[in-house]
Chains A and B, each alone.
Chain A
Amino acid sequence: MRFSAIGALVAGSLLASPFSAMAQTEVQFWHAFTGRLGELVAEQIETFNSSQSDYKVVGSHKGNYSETLNAGIAAFRAQEQPHILMVFEVGTATMMGAKGAIKPVYEVMADAGAEFDQDAYIGAVKGYYTTTDGEMLSLPFNSSTPVLWVNKDALKAAGIDPNVDLSTWQKVGDVLDTLKASGHSCPLTTAWQSWIHLENLSAYHNVPFATKDNGFAGLDTELAFNGPVQVKHIQTMGDWAKDGKFFYAGRRNEGGANFRSGECALFTESSAGYAGIKKEAQFDFAVRPLPYWEGVDGAPQNTIIGGASLWVMTGHTDEEYKGVAAFLNFLSSTDIQAKWHQDTGYLPITIAAGEKTKADGFYKENPGTDVAVIQMTANQPTANSKGLRLGSFDQIRGIIDEELEAVWSGDKTAQEAMDSAVERGNVLLRRFEQANR
């Protein structure tokens, strides 16, 4: 019985697919979202599919960010690539280097004759994914930026005013001292240490992370995050770790559990951590802008994004690309974007979506949700704060993680660790340059 049921299903799906393909042009969309985010993506796709009858977008979950990128690469090698592939921000240089494998979004839009106003997108968001001439290569999908999360109850318990000014690292340092003196076991923790404490730190203080405009201007870029601003910050964090004021929980977002359980008082994490913290935290929390070092010229500049964008792959028909263009325009439309921004805590990608959210009164009802937007858009991005475009960046982050761990455990000084990370990372950059020449 069971076998015949499976057989019927298989036969059914074999029969069904050619029919639907005949009626509509199918667009394959591979993404990396599960859980609540996966449901929201499925909902977007469903809304698009039912809004018109020419195209049918088929979403498939392909694992986490790295796995999705690998699935896309493997599929391209087997000539079975999807139309749209979700790639996380650190894979940007890899995708850009693959000239024969991708079709830039601005080209897709132009060829399909679709309406496409690049100025409608928020500069700090799209900047990560545009050429130096401002042409969009991929469509930003989910973007977030790091902020400071505060456990107000923990501050109160230590006798600190919960609305204390935490805008600079100097002031944060004072608060950490008080927390420590009151016997608090975890004054500060972090997620994504390289992204927040080196990549964003550099952009926020308008100092280069790498030469050649952080890699935007050429593959012959070299890492430059062993400068005085970064070294001072990492050394301070290292000292805090030694004194028990900064608690290192792991390379990814392991620290989130420590914050949400109320164990840690301050937490640097992506603005997209909002949904999880709101759901789990049994204490009064607040979102504050990421602190900066007072006295550094040009700080605070703007922070940069993390997250993923949608890349269009080559090897499909014009008709299918029209479907892709229609879907990407649908995703960028104000209502869909505003809903995505409000549901997920990710940044809006268009200016209009941000304004609509404001007009809806969302920021008033959910105080702190606009902190990330303001922090991102406060200043016009500079060459140092537009984003990063480095080959083998996922691995370079791995090297940075290793070297930072050496600082947290007291094995190396910040200067030694950053010099070593730069040297090791440059070797990878040269190899990437060679492979993509």
Chain B
Amino acid sequence: MEKRVTFKGWLLPLALVFPQILISGVFFFYPAGQAIWQSLFIPDPFGLSSQFVGLGNFEYLLSDKYYRASFLTTAIFSTLVTLVSMVPALFLAVMADRLVKGAGTYRTLLIWPYAVAPAVAGVLWLFMFNTRVGVVSWYLGQLGYDWNHVLNDGEAMGLVVVASAWGRISYNFLFFFAALQSVPRSVIEAAAIDGARFWTRFFTIVLPLLSPTTFFLLVVNVVYAFFETFGVIHTITSGGPQQATTILVYKVFADGFVGQDLGSSAAQSVILLVVVGALTVVQFRYVEKKVHY
């Protein structure tokens, strides 16, 4: 049974939601509305003139096969980033949860990478995998593997995925770790007495109990992969080689701030908004059904 709170009158509830509405209005509805409005025009960069083109910008974008290819690149990239940032985080959290001594130290060390800004993380990884002076690429060379993410699209994708996911592992770890602490010990002990081994207990008891956290992190990480990985891509590959790592949000930047094509850039952000909105709706409608609160 759901508990419902009822208010007498309208004033108090309105006052309570007002701050949230104000924030959403200023930081979401106003800019989103501006983007939709601008996507209907082709302006010149200096804002001296602009022409109304209706849905022309969308038509132009969707008829571009390179733009359509960027959807697939984004899908691959976000799936990989989400997986690579969540699976190791869960593993580390489970391991840290079992520790009796020194748990605090491990926890602190595991959280550190989250403090590194994406662009800095990008430079860091780029340096390690630099085709000429990189430590990792040098060792790979010793093993007979010729690392070259400048021309090899698979390697470029792998590198930006790892660089984007690395800092997020800490963030996810924090949430998984907290959630693990709240799993009732009694249930686990009961299972143990019944003879369930560690991994059986994990998959049949702990994982289902973690599902609200997992679901939350899934949504948050997908949004992260869509929007906030821009800095990593900009510093490591600039979208290359060819268009192997040009994800949607990177193209918004490139067209808007390199090409000064504000109409196309605005139309792309509208498309991105719709895609992420739809994705979140899908997640809430279908994935959330499998979540036990």
Contact = CB atoms under 8 A, between A and B. Distances in A.
Contacts of A24: none
Interface string B168-183: 0000000000000000
B53 to A, nearest CB: 8
B44 A436 contact: yes
B48 A100 contact: yes
Contact of A249 (B45, B131, B261): B131
Contacts of A94: 45, 260
A428 to B, nearest CB: 7
Given A250-B150, A263-B132, A402-B243, A435 B46 contact: no
A426 B243 CA distance: 18
Given A66-B257, A70-B257, A263-B132, A405 B241 contact: yes
B238 interface: yes
Interface size class for chain B? 20 to 34
B194 interface: no
Interface in B203-229: none
Contacts of A261: 132
B178 to A, nearest CB: 37
A431 B42 contact: yes
A115 to B, nearest CB: 31
Interface in B234-254: 238-243, 254
Interface string B100-142: 0000000000000000000000000000000111000000000
A258 B151 contact: no
B46 A73 contact: yes
A408 B151 CA distance: 8
Interface string A18-52: 00000000000000000000000000000000000
A145 interface: no
A395 B259 contact: yes
A405 B150 CA distance: 9
Interface in A78-107: 94, 97-101
Contacts of B150: 248-250, 254
Which residue, of B254, B258, B260, B263, has the highest number of chain A Cβ atoms within 10 A?
B260
Which residue, of A77, A258, A431, has the highest number of chain B Cβ atoms within 10 A?
A431
A98 B51 contact: no
B43 interface: yes
Contact of A101 (B46, B51, B240): B46
A435 to B, nearest CB: 5
Contact of B260 (A73, A100, A248, A434): A73
A431 B57 CA distance: 10
A392 B151 contact: no
B44 A435 contact: yes
Given A409-B241, A431-B60, A431-B261, A77 B132 contact: no
A435 B53 CA distance: 11
Given A66-B258, A409-B152, A427 B64 contact: yes
Given A394-B259, A424-B66, A251 B238 contact: yes
B244 to A, nearest CB: 9
A341 B255 CA distance: 35
Given A405-B242, A408-B151, A434 B261 contact: no
A395 B258 contact: yes
Interface string A238-280: 0000000000111100100110010100000000000000000
A402 B237 CA distance: 11
A299 interface: no
Given A405-B242, A409-B151, A435-B261, A258 B132 contact: yes
Given A251-B240, A405-B240, A394 B258 contact: yes
The 7 closest A-B pairs by CB, nearest first: A395-B259, A101-B46, A98-B46, A405-B241, A409-B151, A402-B242, A100-B48
Given A251-B240, A431-B60, 15 more contacts: A73-B46, A98-B45, A99-B48, A100-B48, A250-B150, A392-B259, A394-B259, A395-B254, A401-B240, A405-B151, A406-B242, A411-B242, A428-B261, A434-B42, A435-B42
26 contacts: A70-B257, A73-B260, A76-B46, A94-B45, A94-B260, A98-B45, A98-B46, A99-B48, A100-B46, A101-B48, A248-B151, A249-B131, A250-B150, A251-B238, A257-B133, A258-B132, A395-B261, A398-B254, A401-B240, A402-B243, A406-B242, A428-B259, A428-B261, A431-B60, A431-B264, A435-B51
